[in-house]
Copies of this chain bind each other. A is one copy, B any other.
């Protein structure tokens, strides 16, 4: 038993929340999947199911964040970087049998009405991811205003395409937004190497 019980609980809960949502996932199921007992779960998480979920969502958020960061670093050009994201997401999604999509969306949608910690955790995750994309765009030379708007759009499109791909059990939606987002991003980039008279920028 190399991994701690707590970690096993968090990892198992993250996977189950991603696949079945918050209400669809039982504490006992989490314990079983983590090869832990109910006592252990409540020992590490006295806050009960919600506390487990928050920890699991944070874990999933970080994992997805590094996946995003890695994909974005695959290319210097922001447009290519975005398609690298969609390619990676599509591959992982297919490999999981279309079940492991965004780690927070399901839980987020189920707890919309409430003002639970879960809600806040999901919102934080989305904003953090958007920040990653925005930074990439800024490094690519976009203006702060353009980068903000575009990053928000890219994240929304990724989220939506992930859902669409899962429901249709197809990589196509992700590849489509990959192509279109690349085109959109390119429309912002200052292409100094092109032939058609780039606008002169005052030094």
A residues near B (Cβ < 8 Å) are: 19-21, 23-24, 98-99, 101, 105-106, 108-110, 112-113, 119, 122-123, 126-127, 149-150, 152-153, 155-164, 166-168, 172-173, 176-177, 179-181, 183-184, 187
CB neighbours (8 Å) of A163 from chain B are 105, 108-109, 156, 159-160
Measured CA separation A29–B159 after assembly (Å):
30
Measured CA separation A173–B106 after assembly (Å):
18
Are B109 and A164 in contact, CB atoms less than 8 angstroms apart? no
The minimal Cβ–Cβ distance linking A48 to chain B, given in whole angstroms, is 17
Would you list 19 pairs from A and B whose C-beta atoms are within 8 A, ordered by A residue?
A: A19-B112, A19-B113, A21-B109, A105-B109, A105-B163, A112-B166, A126-B167, A149-B179, A150-B180, A152-B177, A153-B176, A153-B181, A156-B160, A156-B173, A156-B176, A159-B160, A159-B163, A183-B184, A183-B187
| Count of this chain's copies in the oligomeric assembly | 2
Are B20 and A108 in contact, CB atoms less than 8 angstroms apart? no
CB neighbours (8 Å) of A106 from chain B are 21, 106, 109-110
CB neighbours (8 Å) of A184 from chain B are 180, 183-184, 187
Are A153 and B177 in contact, CB atoms less than 8 angstroms apart? yes
Measured CA separation A122–B167 after assembly (Å):
7
Are A157 and B153 in contact, CB atoms less than 8 angstroms apart? yes
Measured CA separation A106–B173 after assembly (Å):
18
Are A24 and B157 in contact, CB atoms less than 8 angstroms apart? no
Most B CB within 10 A of own CB, among A23, A101, A150: A23
Most B CB within 10 A of own CB, among A152, A159, A181: A152
